[in-house]
Amino acid sequence: MNVMKLNNNVHIRKQISVDLSADQWELLTDSYSRTVIEKVANLLNRRLVLAYNSGKGKEEVRLEMESLMKDFTIYGANDKYSKIVLTNLLEKLY
């Protein structure tokens, strides 16, 4: 969970949940079965939630996600459009 300390007595904690579809992640939905491509999207969602909610900083989350996205390059997860989605998400979160 991400924590922002305003002072020694005030901490703001926030958690996220992410449920983006393969289309929203800009994956190659026309090239693979919907079942497979949605599993990839769900994995990206879960990893982002886990990384953010564990309190990692923006760049740590970006590096972790980009590493995972490289593993799924054949599904379009490492394309510039998917990276733009990640960048936009991180900008809103941090």
* CB neighbourhood size of 59 (10 A): 10
The DSSP call for residue 32 is S
Question: What is the separation, in whole angstroms, between the first and last Cα of the chain?
Answer: 13
pLDDT above 70: residue 4: no
| CA of residue 70 relative to chain centroid, distance | 13
pLDDT on residue 84: 98
Residue-range domain boundaries for the chain: 2-93
Mean confidence (pLDDT) of the chain: 92
Q: Which of 44, 33, 46 is nearest to 85 (CA)?
A: 44
Q: What is the CB-side half-sphere exposure of residue 21 using CA atoms within 13 A?
A: 5
Q: What is the mean pLDDT of residues 79-92?
A: 97
Convert the pLDDT of each residue in 23-40 to its tens digit.
Answer: 999 999 999 999 999 999
Listed residue (21, 25, 10, 42) closest to 78, CA to CA: 25
Average pLDDT value for residue range 29-54? 96
CA 51 – CA 55 distance, rounded (Å): 7
pLDDT at 3 over 70: no
Q: Lowest mean pLDDT: which of 13-17, 21-25, 48-52, 57-61? A: 13-17
